[in-house]
Structure 1
Amino acid sequence: MEKKLNSSRGCVYNIGYHLIWCPKYRRKVLTGDVEIRLKEILLKVAAEHEWAIASLEVMPDHVHVFVKCGPTDSPNHVVSQFKGRASFELRNEFRWLKTKLPALWSRSYYCESVGNISEAAIQAYIENQKTR
């Protein structure tokens, strides 16, 4: 598998986050036109921030995003940009979402950092530095 490294001034990086979040009360509202529009919104937000969405799947009651971003983009910032814009636009376009849910998204989310090197390999590399 080929590594895709990015760089900025003074930094070389490969940062990816697997993010998952749910609608409030885990309601199954992310279907049909809402699902299609949500995907468009998330892709637009990513492009505006120069993030790359490697994978995106919208389930009826949760969203999975694998996003590659820069070293100054915290997972909390990335999720808040996705959720904030999606909530604003979806609730304006699909008025029934406002009556069905007091807020579109639950406050919580899941985040896992994803890279090309395993946790065990990194630990072994660090532990063996003095023996080199």
Structure 2
Amino acid sequence: MKFQSHRNITYNCQYHVVWCVKYRKKLLEGEIETRLKQIVLEVAEELQVEIVEMETDQDHIHLLIKCDPQFGIHKIVKRMKGRSSRLLRAEFKILRTRLPSLWTNSYFVSTVGGAPLAVIKQYMKDQQKV
């Protein structure tokens, strides 16, 4: 497991993030999909975030992100959704005419990696015995 250090923190934080096209419209194909991935990578580079994996389906995007927990995953998602919506809607007329906004307001995020929960719980219980 590779840890990263930044100022006063050492960490290995990975997040699985998913967000969907408004009304689950199947629009993430071809040039739109390609451009979306470019935008997400540009934002990640600006924010010094590592995209470990990125995949799209026609109506949603999955990301595996490694980032500094002090910055906050919510800020990263907000920036990625905001910029991609603005740029994609400006570049592709179909996204302006078929939807009031590109993305739903919500998203899914879950931490991943590290030890399984059962192992961490057992470790914590074992500390009480010492």
TM-score interval, normalised by the smaller of the two chains: over 0.9
Q: CA deviation at 1:74?
A: 2.0
Q: CA deviation at 1:47?
A: 0.5
- Whether the aligned pair in 1 keeps the contact of 2:36 and 2:84 (CA below 8 Å) is yes
2:29 pairs with 1:31: yes
* SS of aligned partner of 1:102: coil
Alignment deviations for residues 27-47 of structure 1 (CA, whole Å, 9 cap, x no partner): 001001000000000011000
* SS of aligned partner of 1:56: strand
Q: CA deviation at 1:19?
A: 0.3
Structure-1 separation of matches of 2:28 and 2:102: 10
CA RMSD of aligned residues (A): 0.9
Structure-2 separation of matches of 1:67 and 1:56: 9
Q: Point out where structure 1 has 5 or more consecutive residues left out of the alignment.
A: none
* SS of aligned partner of 1:45: helix
Question: Structure 1: which 4+ aligned runs deviate by more than 2 Å?
Answer: none
Structure-2 separation of matches of 1:113 and 1:74: 12
Q: CA deviation at 1:58?
A: 1.0
Identity of aligned residues (%): 42
Structure-1 separation of matches of 2:106 and 2:125: 35
2:65 pairs with 1:80: no
2:44 pairs with 1:42: no
* SS of aligned partner of 1:129: helix
* SS of aligned partner of 2:127: coil
Alignment deviations for residues 51-71 of structure 1 (CA, whole Å, 9 cap, x no partner): 000000011011000000002
Structure-1 separation of matches of 2:50 and 2:124: 29
> For residue 115 of structure 1, what is the aligned residue in structure 2?
113
Q: CA deviation at 1:96?
A: 1.9
* SS of aligned partner of 2:70: coil
2:100 pairs with 1:102: yes
Q: Point out where structure 2 has 5 or more consecutive residues left out of the alignment.
A: none
Alignment deviations for residues 49-93 of structure 1 (CA, whole Å, 9 cap, x no partner): 000000000110110000000021322212111100100110111
- Whether the aligned pair in 1 keeps the contact of 2:47 and 2:76 (CA below 8 Å) is no
